Amino acid sequence: MVAAKLSYEESRRQRMEENKKRMEALNLPQLAQALKAPSFPKPTPMKRAKPQTVEKQMVVVRRSSRVANLPTPVYKEIAVDPLRMPRRHSTSKHRDFSNRVYASDEARAEATERAGELESGLGSDHPTFVKPMLQSHVTGGFWLGLPIHFCNKNLPKRDESVILVDEDGDEYQTVYLANKRGLSGGWRGFAIAHELVDGDALVFQLIRPKTFKVYIIRVERT
């Protein structure tokens, strides 16, 4: 029985020796030691930022030489009664149409007839048309619609600048709106410069692409 016990102890010692050799071969003792006492890097102490100092300086405010010698103004709140505040009145001027002069049917027809005679004398080298003036052409909106058939045949298919040349050779630039077939911007200046009124008849002669020669037949005013 004692011999059996000794053989057990001997075999146990041999196994421990073998295990130790295996652990040393695998470098396990050093790994176990490293796990037991891990080393962490010491935190770097934070540097305290120095508070910034703002240097205050007195600055002299520039004043205009015109008011440099005047006392410094003092601003303070003043209670204002809203019921006593002055009302603002609109400064926009409304156009007064009370002095419009309307041509009679006879005078309008007579001016249009004379314009037709002038048109006939211009020949057929350049396209022409006659346009009697209405109030909407010479006052208010200042919009001049042109004959549709003439526009479709002779004028651009898109918005363009059109020049009007009067009988003195002075040129006026206007804007032709193709979709609406009429003159908008610039026509007002032409109408005012030539003092056009209701009943006047104009002869338009297309002397060049996008350039009209304009003849004015004045209506007889009563």
pLDDT digits (tens, 9 = 90+) for 152-185: 999 999 999 999 999 999 999 999 999 999 998 8
Compute the distance between CA of residue 46 and CA of residue 58 in angstroms, rounded to an integer: 37
- Cβ–Cβ < 8 Å for 175, 126: no
* Count of H-run helices and E-run strands, the chain: 6, 7
Q: E strands within 123-210?
A: 128-132, 144-145, 160-165, 171-177, 182-183, 201-208
Let me know: does 119 contact 128? Beta carbons within 8 Å. yes
**DSSP-H helix ranges across the chain:** 2-25, 28-36, 105-121, 135-138, 148-154, 187-193
pTM for this model (two decimals):
0.56
pLDDT tens for 117-156 read: 999 999 989 999 999 999 989 987 889 999 999 999 999 9
Neighbour tally for 210: CB within 10 Å: 14
